[in-house]
């Protein structure tokens, strides 16, 4: 088997195993549910969702092998820069088994927002994550406003409108 085909098969197998593992014992959060708190290692220290209370948070679950995740990072950087002064924060939780894989990704696709690492995949179970990327928009009081699975360029405008509404239309 060619080396590139073997690599592709490994990535596909890893994605399948991860998606099966994520769906086990997972329950989807509904609009209005309290977003579960977490404390995870980050690039610059411990990342806790509860430390973001008072801000509107776009919580994104991603992995280095995820193509749509690669597409979402520039948009999340843009949203962070555009709305940070209004109390908006992006928090991206990486689910790679090896943090080194995430760091390689971040070297190629920089994140200008908070990044946390969950190599054991415990946090996505709390949120009922079933695919990559999965994002949650969380209001200033820690309540879930929206769950969004996947990322396509066509999603950007609608997601930004949801962010604006959460920020109070400012």
CATH of the domain at 12: 3.40.30.10
Domains in the chain, number: 1
* pTM for the whole structure: 0.84
pLDDT in the model for residue 2: 55
- Angle formed by the axes of helices 156-166 and 67-83, to 10°? 40
Look up the domain containing 104 and give its range: 3-166
pLDDT mean across residues, the chain: 88
pLDDT at residue 14 above 80?
no
Q: How far apart are CA 114 and CA 154, in angstroms?
A: 24
* β-bridge mates for residue 94, sequence order: 62, 117
How does strand 114-117 pair with strand 88-94?
Answer: parallel
pLDDT tens-digit map of 82-130: 999 999 999 999 999 999 999 999 999 999 999 999 999 999 999 999 9
pLDDT tens-digit map of 36-49: 999 999 988 999 99
**Between the CA of residue 144 and those of 28, 70, 107, 120, 166, what are the distances in Å?**
11, 24, 31, 23, 11
pLDDT tens-digit map of 147-159: 999 999 999 999 9
Region 163-168: mean pLDDT is 97
* β-bridge mates for residue 91, sequence order: 59, 114
């Amino acid at each position: 088997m060619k080396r590139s085909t073997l690599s592709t098969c490994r990535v596909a197998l890893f994605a399948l195993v991860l998606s099966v593992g994520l769906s086990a014992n997972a329950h989807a959060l509904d609009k209005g549910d309290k977003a579960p708190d977490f404390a995870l290692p980050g690039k610059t220290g411990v990342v806790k969702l509860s430390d973001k209370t008072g801000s509107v948070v776009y919580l994104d679950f991603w992995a280095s092998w995820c193509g749509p995740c690669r597409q979402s990072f520039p948009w999340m950087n843009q949203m962070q820069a555009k709305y940070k002064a209004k109390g908006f924060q992006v928090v991206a939780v990486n689910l790679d088994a090896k943090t080194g894989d995430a760091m390689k990704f971040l070297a190629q696709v920089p994140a200008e927002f908070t990044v946390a690492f969950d190599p054991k995949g415990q946090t996505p179970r709390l949120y009922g994550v079933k695919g990559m990327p999965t994002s949650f928009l969380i209001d200033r009081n820690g309540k879930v406003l929206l769950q969004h699975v996947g990322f396509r360029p066509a999603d950007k405008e609608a997601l930004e409108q949801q962010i604006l509404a959460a920020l109070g239309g400012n």
